[in-house]
Amino acid sequence: MRIDIITCLPKLLEGPFSDSILKRAQDKQLVSIVIHDLRDYSTNKHKALDDYAFGGGAGMVMMVEPIDRCISHLKGLHNYDEVIYMSPDGELLTQSIANQLSLHQNLIILCGHYKGVDERVREHLITREISIGDYVLSGGELAAAVLSDSIVRLIPGVLSDESSALTDSFQDGLVAPPVYTRPATYKNWNVPDVLLSGHESNIEQWRYEKAVERTKIRRPGLFESDL
């Protein structure tokens, strides 16, 4: 898989992809994450990427031309399954969206800044808009990193234990059950006996019951959703 991320602040994206699972996925060539600096596509002599909003009002707007040039350039090189704009009013990111996107080959993710991008970008260049939650960030970079992480960890071979992603919260419409590790007793805080019993089917049953119990309390909506 290839993910091209377009940003006016590439430095903000250096950290998230340079360690741990996302780094290993790139090292193993299971994914290629390429960051593009929008400034390289500006024809403006000051390399400006934003301008005042028509009609007035506070806040600058990202101009259509550099974004169009960048996306057109990329589309000339690869076929993209989706051109995604990170946006607070987009569809809310869920595990099911991450699952769908992880099956694609090539994705573009556009990060907005300031007041957002000129609406013509959204009308003509973007195929999907995704939000990571009902709150406003100062830029799309952190949101793009969240989205990329949620997708990349699902690519077969990225997690060292293949089945791990399948037992995470939301994959089966439930949140995950509690987990414990050694020591079995700490300050008289004990690990449930069943987990130490070695009895696989009892452990399975216990985990399922805990997952259902937690989901009822924490995410009752999951029982009604079509994950």
Q: Is 92 in the site for ligand SAH (CB under 6 A)?
A: no
Query: How far is CA 201 from each of CA 56, 86, 119, 163, 194, rounded to the nearest angstrom?
Result: 65, 43, 55, 17, 10
> Do 145 and 20 contact (CB within 8 A), yes or no?
no
Q: Is 133 in the site for ligand SAH (CB under 6 A)?
A: yes
Q: Is 132 in the site for ligand SAH (CB under 6 A)?
A: yes
The tokens describing 196, both together, are: 């130490």
Q: Which region among 19-27, 83-91, 95-103, 151-159 touches ligand SAH (by CB under 6 A)?
A: 83-91
* Chain residue at closest Cβ approach to ligand SAH: 112
Q: Are strands 128-131 and 106-110 parallel, antiparallel or unpaired?
A: unpaired
Element (H, E) at 53: none
Give min distance, CB of 59 to ligand SAH, in A.
Answer: 7
Of 82, 88, 100, 219, the one binding ligand SAH (CB under 6 A) is: 88
Give min distance, CB of 129 to ligand SAH, in A.
Answer: 9
Give min distance, CB of 111 to ligand SAH, in A.
Answer: 5
Question: Smaller CB distance to ligand SAH: residue 131 or 215?
Answer: 131
Q: Is 54 in the site for ligand SAH (CB under 6 A)?
A: no
CA 75/CA 68 separation, integer angstroms: 10
Q: Are strands 82-92 and 128-131 parallel, antiparallel or unpaired?
A: parallel
The closest alpha carbon to 139, from 13, 35, 52, 2, belongs to 13
Give min distance, CB of 183 to ligand SAH, in A.
Answer: 40
Point out which residues bind ligand SAH (CB under 6 A): 86-89, 111-113, 115-116, 131-133, 135-137, 139-140, 143
